[in-house]
Amino acid sequence: MTTWGIVVAAGSGTRFGGAKQYEQLGAQRVLDWAVQALRPFCDGVVLVVTEGHAGRHEPGVDAVVTGGSTRSESVRAGLAAVPAEADIVVVHDAVRPLASPDLFEAVVGAVVAGADGAVPGVPVSDTVKRVGEGCFVIETLDRSQLVAVQTPQAFRTRALRGAHGMGADTTDDAALVESAGGRVVVVPGDPANIKLTAPHDLVVAEALLAPQ
């Protein structure tokens, strides 16, 4: 089966204070770690960047495209550059530089086995409450049925294109596939597969990369 990857690197990094995907992490940029992690599992890789970084050469990728104002628009821009013959698409966030080979193997393997989509998930350790206006608690959720979802996420290309063809916006591609009636499964995630959101996350990532 032909597999292509999309690395989403079009975020502005508002909470971080800048474009965190271009921050230095060890010997290379954050997004380089993400591309290198994805590359061995794909026949081709599309990198989605901000307009200010469009047109620049980027190592390890087959195409560089400009993203949109939302994550979903950016993924759609990446999908447009994926060849029609691709059977599976793996979507990965550039700001998750520590994704392990096991995660890529697991999500792709689940789609090969028959799922429309597969996402890594880690158990939620905190008590989670749903609140309404005024921060009044509406309910306390059963955390035994909750997982925190990560990338990489793998999908049958037809299912992902169809879901994005509806034009909706969400922070999670699997949610679009689910809404379109697709069957999405969860594989074990990795707590070390952190998403860089705030500056201290970069310090944590550097510590995790340091030789033990």
CATH of the domain at 162: 3.90.550.10
State how many domains the chain has.
1
Provide the domain limits for residue 199. Answer: 3-209
Query: pLDDT tens digit string along 87-140?
Result: 999 999 999 999 999 999 999 999 999 999 999 999 999 999 999 988 999 999
Q: 174 falls in which pLDDT band (50, 70, 90)?
A: very high
Residues 41 and 14: their CA atoms lie apart, in Å, by 31
Query: pLDDT tens digit string along 45-54?
Result: 999 999 888 8
Percentage with pLDDT > 70 across the chain: 96
Query: For 29-53, what is the mean pLDDT?
Result: 96
